[in-house]
Amino acid sequence: MLPAARITIAGTDVPEKELSITSALLAEDDGADGAAVVHAQVNVVMAARRRARARRIARRRQYHGSTAGLRGNKRRDFAAGVHNILRGYFGVGGLPTIYDERDFETRFRVPRSVFRRVYLAVKDEPFFQQRKNATDKLRAHPLQKVVAAFRVIAYGEAADRADEYVRLSRTVIATPTKLLMEFIVRRWGPTYLRRPNQDELNTIMERKKEPGMPGCMGSLDYCHWEWHKCPTGMAGAYQSRKGKRGIVVEAVCDEDLWVWHLYVGAPGSLNDINVMQQSPLYLDVPGGRWPPRGTAFNINGRTRTLPYYLVYGIYPRYAFLMSPHPNPSTEEQTTFNRLQEAIRKDMERLFGVLLKRFHVALHPGRYHSVSQLVTKYKAICILHNMCG
């Protein structure tokens, strides 16, 4: 038999078999001790979290009902607010209104017919209905809420700015404003923000053919809308080269400033070129979904079936984009550039009209999420189309 192997540790001979058994025992003991330490640490952390949660719950403001020393509700007199609105714009007791149609459209940015259409459609929604409080008294009228929401959309003012006129609090005005824009997008978005069908597209192309642009479907352009309440964690993606945080708005309109395509919500760090790569308007072209190829037109003796949009010269040379000549050297190229720029100004006019008509888009967006900004811009474009 071979002699057992021995290992010298600190001047002492120890058999190798005994050393392996001792190492295994030490390893087991170290694991048990480590597990006990981790378990104790976890218990301490969980206990600290429970105490912190108990302190947060204790600090919460509890509802105690009517308590002496608390500020009571303001006596806003909702009936007086409804009476002021009716007396000023709709007439009371057979008397003529104080403000005529022109004043109405100036104050609300929409004609009376559009306002009436929106009001009749939304007045039966749960939040807009007139209800009674715990004391069996009537609360705010649906007309007050709709008027307050239109005031915020038209003037871009703070929610409590119209309190003296409509007799509603800041919270009550902010809520119907948000709900009204969501209702407009949900109710009339499929009707007023859809792409034109074949007959409508043929009409647009025929009208563009008269000034010398056969096959044109409209003008395409982008703008940036500043986002006032952009979270700090999203600032890198939504901050433009000018240092302002916002989102990108893509739109297509015809000569009547009718918006038939709208894409909102791209980060403000993107420019007009790379934002197109994620636009549904661009992605539908290679996918064969849009534009339709049912109309043929002639350009310089060539027959084409792919309609195009008018854009600036910075855009790439795609078949569905018509940009001016970068360096016109002939009289024909100069004339074409002037004609193309004259027709392409429709998009500049559109953004100018939207900002002048609805000041809520003129000021930086004050919502906390991109989805709310998208809903707001879609709502004002739908109202713009309804006025047209």
Cα–Cα distance for residue pair 332/343, rounded to 1 Å: 17
pLDDT of residue 20: 55
All residues at 6 or more sequence positions from 218 whose CB lies less than 8 Å from its CB, including other chains:
204, 208, 252, 253, 254, 260, 309, 310, 346
pLDDT at 356: 92
Judge whether residue 11 has pLDDT over 70: no
- In this prediction, what percent of the chain has a pLDDT beyond 70? 88
**pLDDT at residue 45, as a whole number:** 87
Assign 259 a pLDDT band (cuts: 50, 70, 90): very high
pLDDT at 293: 81
Please check the confidence at residue 274 and state whether its pLDDT lies above 60: yes
Model confidence band, residue 4 (pLDDT cutoffs 50, 70, 90): very low
How far apart are alpha carbons 339 and 336 in whole angstroms?
5
Q: Is residue 2's pLDDT more than 80?
A: no
pLDDT at 26: 47
pLDDT at 227 over 70: yes
Q: 321 has which bridge partners? A: 309
Mean pLDDT score, 69-76: 75
222-248 average pLDDT score:
91
Cis peptide before 267 (omega within 30 of 0): no
pTM of the model: 0.79
Using the predicted structure, report yes or no on whether residue 190 has a pLDDT greater than 60: yes
Query: Please, which pLDDT band fits residue 36 given cuts at 50, 70 and 90?
Result: confident
User: Distance between CA atoms of 338 and 323, rounded to whole angstroms?
Assistant: 11
Task: Check residue 314 and give its pLDDT.
Answer: 85
pLDDT at 41: 83
